[in-house]
A and B are shown apart, each in its own frame.
Chain A
Amino acid sequence: MRAVIPELTYAPAPESTAPVTLRESYGLFVGGEWVAPEGAATFATFNPATEEKLAEVGYAEAVDVDRAVRAARRGYEKYWRKLRPAERAKYVYRIARALTERSREFAVLETMDGGKPIREARDFDVPQAAAHFFYHAGWADKLAWAVPGAERARPLGVVGAIVPWNFPLLIAAWKIAPALACGNTIVLKPAETTPLTALLLAQVCAEAELPPGVVNIITGDGRTGEALVEHPDVDKISFTGSTEVGKGIRRATAGTAKRLSLELGGKSAFIVFDDAPLDQTIEGIVSAIYFNQGHVCCAGSRLLVQESVAAEVVERLRARIATLRHGDPLDKNTDIGAINSRAQRDKIVELVQSGVEEGAVLVQAEWTAPARGYWYPASFFTNVQPTYRIAREEIFGPVLSVMTFRTPDEAIERANNLPYGLSAGVWTSSGALSMYAAARLQAGVVWCNTFNQFDPSSPFGGYKESGFGREGGLAGLRAYLAT
């Protein structure tokens, strides 16, 4: 029988939302209990792909922050600091296991609340978050080895953590896991637009029978964060977010005994030499700028490509973005999901407009966005001059600026010529050139012939205005210890 087979197109393959049970409203998780904010104020959190309201969450004001910090202090003094380290480890392992067992639920909720493709939430965010708890649980009773020379590695006390909306669960894990393993208690504030996975994590902490006050999760906006930063009984602030807010936090904590780690913005360089493996380089570029719609602090948003291969790289990239699958974040085949919020979409639109006005040439994937939801297609600019705003400002969206260079030293100089320094990518077939460039790039992490590789044992952090302090690895652990 001669086949008449229709042309293949992927049918919709939506992940089921059945594992997720949303409450109509969420309180604050303080002292091991769900409590209503004093002022009884709430705000709504939305699905950015549909603009549908998902839930109401409590709005924590200064008085609620104070209550949470006091609960954390009590949890620290009464339980956590007295616990034998191996016992602490058991709780942290318990959280890790719960994340693994409920991974589907966390992944679907992360995608619903934040707009990222389910493939990424499922394969990256949730497994990485669990890995951070597993990794740090192992450290809890081995801290003396983390700080050679110190007689005893002591906790700091109460940690105030403020996390962004791009990797809500993962970055919460980056902070909660080491804080707990090192013997600290924590007050964590998730971002305004993505509070739900942190609240589910609070539920997990309650079910793990964590002593009251060890983990406190309070929802709110920038003012809630400010109150946390300014609270006199917080021993350390760990902040991941914008450089602008980070600068404010540094000012606010200056002259106090508070310790501070900041992981801020970036405009990271992705350097392509003429001997690079081009097919994989294109995949690296896709990961660098289109992963999580470009809502990535270490996104490789500046492509520096050697002039002799620039035309070929641009042509291949043009062809590649045409194959990216935009749309429903819950569809298992989606590559590019929704922009996290209307405000972020507007910011991307504004910066892209500035690029066009300054004279850059915009290339965009052709895609008709749904009427509802916040979207932006995969894009890149050619004819970009290093002075343009799109070459210097963080866009935090799926928009890449392509520039050229002639020699390795010129590439390195251009890469370093910004106040940021979070990550960098180096693409070449020459190991010697990789090492030469990596040693000279001012970036917290340099990926050679790859991008966006993360592991709890590998420290992550920035140079210059991308922040200071490290998360992950030994360096990250020490940020939660008094030594």
Chain B
Amino acid sequence: MRSGWVPVDAVMLEARATVLAKRSFKTDAKRTAHDLVIACMDLTTLEGTDTPNKVRGVCARGIAPAPGVPSVAAICIYPALVAVAVEALAGSSVKVASVATAFPSGLSPLDVKLREAREAVDAGAAEIDMVIDRAAFLAGRYDLVSAEIAAVRDACPDATLKVILEVGELGSFAAIRHACDLALAAGADFLKTSTGKIGSSSTPAVALLMCEAIRDFAHASGRAAGLKLAGGIRTSKAALGYVSIVHETLGTAWLQPQRFRVGASSLLDDVLMQREKDATGNYAGPAYVAQA
């Protein structure tokens, strides 16, 4: 075990996560959890094809996904589209979140990354989703990883800073836990699992591991950081599994947009359909859910 690393063992981590991810939500619990997932959602579009009109559509959907449905927490987009989203979301509760620091690879010069983050904030982004430098992490240069997070933190002190670990590239649960601990110590407001741009992203075990890091950090420092799960969460059922993991590891105080986010592009469709089924008993299908 490398010094300073918290040991993690896969077998019981996965066993516990599996139990939590299979909790059963019925009646009121299901309704509450569906609304919670929507209210904690970072509705995302991160494509090379994103145009201003596409982003306006996503924003409109985020403000009012369907009649009687809460707004999402934020719209997550590329920096070049921040100004469009700010205008489209004016007057609503929905925040603008921008990815930054050479998303998704993180492999640009530091000054470029810092400028990107600063300009996103200047354009009106309230939240910055930065990626860590996985190349530095895998090379064992944890000092560089920490310093870069701290530099972004300094560059946009008033923004909510979400630190994307890209867990699928770190190699082991113990490495993920160490990345969590580095990011929390360097000032992350949220730990975020993944860019969503690689195959392996959020899993129940990873979510549990990150909750444990956040819990231990809150215990040691008194500061409550949040968790953002992103990448591959497409179904309501999967999302509710993550709600259970947060609920039973961090407690209900974490089940609010200030401390819990689910980043997704298509999840909202399924939650709306399940919500409708729950309310009416009928599963109407995708044609009855307005797309962006």
Contact = CB atoms under 8 A, between A and B. Distances in A.
Contacts of B278: none
Interface of A: 1-3, 5-13, 119, 275-281, 283-284, 287, 323, 332-333, 429-430, 449-451, 453
A280 B70 contact: no
Contact of A280 (B12, B36, B252): B12
Nearest to A430: B1
12 contacts: A3-B70, A5-B70, A7-B252, A8-B32, A8-B252, A10-B23, A275-B1, A280-B13, A283-B15, A284-B12, A449-B9, A450-B9
B220 to A, nearest CB: 12
A3 B9 contact: no
B259 interface: no
Contacts of A278: 6-7
B110 interface: no
Contacts of A9: 29
Contacts of B1: 275, 429-430
Given A1-B69, A8-B252, 17 more contacts: A1-B64, A3-B39, A3-B70, A5-B39, A7-B252, A8-B33, A10-B23, A10-B24, A10-B29, A13-B29, A275-B7, A277-B8, A279-B209, A279-B212, A283-B13, A333-B24, A449-B12
B247 A8 contact: yes
Categorize the interface residue count of chain B.
Answer: 35 or more
A280 B174 CA distance: 12
A327 to B, nearest CB: 13
Contacts of B35: 3, 5
Contacts of B70: 1-3, 5
A119 B19 CA distance: 9
Given A11-B27, A279-B8, A2 B93 contact: yes
Interface of B is mostly: helix
Contacts of A450: 9, 11-12, 15
Interface in B213-261: 243, 247-248, 252, 255
A11 B30 contact: yes
B237 to A, nearest CB: 14
A13 B26 contact: yes
Interface of B: 1, 6-9, 11-13, 15-16, 19, 22-30, 32-33, 35-36, 38-39, 64, 68-71, 93, 209, 212, 243, 247-248, 252, 255
Contacts of A13: 24-26, 29
Given A13-B25, A333-B23, A283 B12 contact: yes
Contacts of B15: 283, 287, 450
B11 A449 contact: yes
A8 B29 contact: yes
Question: Which of A7, A11, A278: most chain B CB closer than 10 A?
Answer: A11
Contacts of A281: 12
Nearest to B73: A3
A5 B7 contact: no
B11 A11 contact: no
A333 B248 CA distance: 12
A279 to B, nearest CB: 5
